[in-house]
Amino acid sequence: MKISTLHDLYIEELRDIYDAENQLVKALPQVSKAANNEELKNSIEEHLEQTKEHVNRLEKIFQNVGESPKGKKCAAMQGLLQEAKELLEEDIEPEVLDAGIIAAAQRVEHYEIAVYGTLVTYAKLLGNEEDADQLEQTLDEEKETDETLTDLAESSINVEASEEEEEGEEKGSRGRKGAAAK
């Protein structure tokens, strides 16, 4: 498709995030299954339900503008999810894995926040207030999810992961002492 106008670019960006959201709907169940912390699991599952709604909202927007939502692959989301998948395949302590899942999930949210921020601006510039409201609602949910993940990281999960490190270090130092005593 030739992109001549801001409207064309708007449609292209909408298609990109539509594909990204659909990739997430497929990937999130796997991520929540891998998470160990119950709160983290729950917040991922909650965001999966929100993500399905993000897909619905986008479909309504495409209906309103009379365009097809299909036709673009979001390479960025593919890459972010590929990295998350690699993390899940690592030999990794459960607490540390949870910290890594939060890091991966926040990368995803920040990407989405950037895209939806742009889309809200374009919708307003194009005089489409109804779309702008819908997109802003999704933007707010992505931001809330990002904040929830930050809270989880700060309150417990990263702390548990850092304690994991201390235990590891203690074991290591005991080992070294043992070796020195010989």
Give residues in contact with Fe ion (CB under 5 A): 51, 54, 112, 142
With beta carbons less than 8 A apart as the criterion, state whether 1 and 71 touch.
yes
Judged by beta carbon, residue 62 or residue 160, the one nearer Fe ion is 62
Q: What is the SS3 assignment for 163?
A: helix
Judged by beta carbon, residue 105 or residue 157, the one nearer Fe ion is 105
Judged by beta carbon, residue 34 or residue 96, the one nearer Fe ion is 34
Handedness of CA 48, 49, 55, 58 (dihedral sign): negative
In angstroms, the CA 57 to CA 63 distance is: 10
**Smallest gap from residue 115 Cβ to Fe ion (A):** 9
**Smallest gap from residue 35 Cβ to Fe ion (A):** 16
With beta carbons less than 8 A apart as the criterion, state whether 149 and 43 touch.
yes
Judged by beta carbon, residue 151 or residue 163, the one nearer Fe ion is 151
Residue nearest to Fe ion (CB): 54
In angstroms, the CA 155 to CA 162 distance is: 12
**Smallest gap from residue 137 Cβ to Fe ion (A):** 11
**Smallest gap from residue 41 Cβ to Fe ion (A):** 16
**Smallest gap from residue 51 Cβ to Fe ion (A):** 5
Q: For the chain, what is the total number of helices (H) and then of strands (E)?
A: 6, 0
* C-alpha pair distances (Å), 57 with each of 5, 14, 66, 139: 23, 11, 14, 12
Judged by beta carbon, residue 37 or residue 138, the one nearer Fe ion is 138
**Smallest gap from residue 113 Cβ to Fe ion (A):** 8
Q: What is the SS3 assignment for 73?
A: coil
Judged by beta carbon, residue 110 or residue 124, the one nearer Fe ion is 110
Rg, the chain, Cα only: 21
